[in-house]
Amino acid sequence: MPITPANGGSAETAETATPSGSAERIMLELVDEDGTTIGTAEKLSAHLAPGQLHRAFSVFLFDDEGRLLLQRRALGKYHSPGVWSNTCCGHPYPGEPPFVAAARRTAEELGVAPALLREAGTVRYNHPDPASGLVEQEYNHLFAGLVRATPRPDPEEIGEIAFVTPDELEKLRAEGPFSAWFMTVLDAARPAVRELTGTAAGW
């Protein structure tokens, strides 16, 4: 399970933190329990307790051996810094299709375009982050796909990356913290992941 530090060039992205450590002013889509857009809210305010239900996405990319690409969130992130999480996650801009947002952020954070990207369902959850006190009230669109190019992670977004098997994932989870939402989104995406990677990969 080689872990690769991020050392690529910095990119100006939509979800970086300002020098003061606060998030830039970004608007998110607020949704109802059915995922229908009902308004917008500023990103940080949507995450303040008790949280406002908003649209999000999570991406799971695998190599041709069926290993999952994980990222460790950069220490400068205002939300859940320094924890391991899935390949990419974020929020569509208001009116932006989740698939487009998922492809955009994958390119911005990891410097690669997926060789394949497909929808993997949706999941709704409420996950407080004990470290920051922020709350993830999200209607999350899931995507699974393949990556064949070498990732070039933006170090302002990502501290490290690793390709892991299911067994290596369990060892990594025992060693260090993961994002509060990680297992929820992975479990919800598993049917699509198994269809993508095949039973031999073990997901």
Of 63, 37, 45, 30, nearest to 138 by C-alpha is: 30
Of 98, 99, 20, nearest to 54 by C-alpha is: 98
Backbone angles phi, psi at 12, to 5 degrees: -80, 110
Catalytic residue among 29, 88, 89, 136: 89
Q: Output the CA–CA distances (angstroms, integers) from residue 13 to 19, 60, 179, 198, in the order listed.
A: 14, 20, 21, 34
Q: Is 89 known to be catalytic?
A: yes
Q: Hey, which residues does 178 pair with through a beta bridge?
A: 84
Q: Is 168 known to be catalytic?
A: no
Chain center to CA of 163: 15
Positions marked active-site: 89, 138
